[in-house]
Structure 1
Amino acid sequence: MINVLPDLPSGLLGFELGPGPLHAEDYRDVLLPALERAAGEGDGIRLVLVVPEFDGMSGGALWQDLKLGVEHLRAWKRLALVTDIGWMSHLTGMFGWMVPGETRVFPLAERAAAVGWAAAS
């Protein structure tokens, strides 16, 4: 499940995962339309992704995730991952360089700082 984060600064997208596993419909119905709007506006995609827990993802969700990154490759500006999940933080640190734009990991307790960083120019 993907939920939209309310009350974010203009130009910033925010989503929180869970509870339950991610499915292709979560990407198609929630995440993709918002990212396409942001990419079409020309100011780039700035995203805060909050992951308090991770219950896995279907094969279709994995495919949607991979497509999402490739289709909007040049539009990514900043991605703030907010999580206390160790393996997720570690993998983002190792492979964040592969994501266009800037990527930074914040602990759940620093969610407000993540929003500020992602929204900044």
Structure 2
Amino acid sequence: MIEQIQGLPPGTLGFRASGQVTAADYERVLVPDIEAAFALNRKLRLLYHVGPDFTGFDPGAMWDDMMLGFRHFSGWDRVALVTDVAWLRIAASAMGFVVPAEFRLFSNAELVLAIDWIREPKPATEEENK
């Protein structure tokens, strides 16, 4: 199951995965919310929490996740993945450099830190300070 995390600032989406995540979960919750947010924002921030009761992704859900990422490849500003699932942490650590955004990996115990980081304003660049 996927549910949206409420209370995040505009331009930021948060999702919590629990139990078995299916393609229907992506198509019913995640994809429409992300597509609607991209209709209003050029760049988005994403917090994805894979909680302790997560049991796995169906193959269709993994495919939908990959295709959604490719469709908006350069549209991410910051991405935070919060999980204690070992294989997800290894995959994220190995592939994090591919994500064209600031990417950070957090443990479930660091969920509040991840939320604080995803909310934090980006420092102004030298170009913006001129």
Whether TM-score is above 0.5 comes out as yes
- The 5 A counterparts of 1:14-93 are 14-19=14-19, 21-53=20-52, 54-93=54-93
The Cα of 1:4 is off from its aligned counterpart by 1.1
1:63 counterpart letter in structure 2: W
- How many residues get paired? 120
2:29 counterpart letter in structure 1: V
Q: Per the alignment, in what secondary structure is the counterpart of residue 93 of structure 2?
A: helix
Structure 1 residue runs without a partner (length 5+)? none
2:104 counterpart letter in structure 1: R
- For 2:55 and 2:42, the matched residues in 1 are separated by 32
**Deviation per CA, 1:11-55, whole angstroms, max 9, x where unpaired?**
211111012x11111111100111112222234120111112432
Normalising by structure 1, report the TM-score: 0.89
- For 1:66 and 1:28, the matched residues in 2 are separated by 13
Correspondence for 2:103: 103
The Cα of 1:59 is off from its aligned counterpart by 2.3
**Deviation per CA, 1:91-120, whole angstroms, max 9, x where unpaired?**
211111111211111111211111121222
- Runs of 4+, deviation exceeding 4 Å: none
Q: Per the alignment, in what secondary structure is the counterpart of residue 90 of structure 1?
A: helix
Structure 2 residue runs without a partner (length 5+)? 123-130
Cα root mean square deviation, aligned: 1.5
- For 1:24 and 1:77, the matched residues in 2 are separated by 25
- For 1:22 and 1:85, the matched residues in 2 are separated by 14
Normalising by structure 2, report the TM-score: 0.83
Residues 42, 10 of structure 1: alpha-carbon distance in 2 compared, 3 angstrom cutoff = closer
Normalized per residue, the structure richer in strand is: 2
Identity of aligned residues (%): 38
Q: Per the alignment, in what secondary structure is the counterpart of residue 41 of structure 2?
A: coil
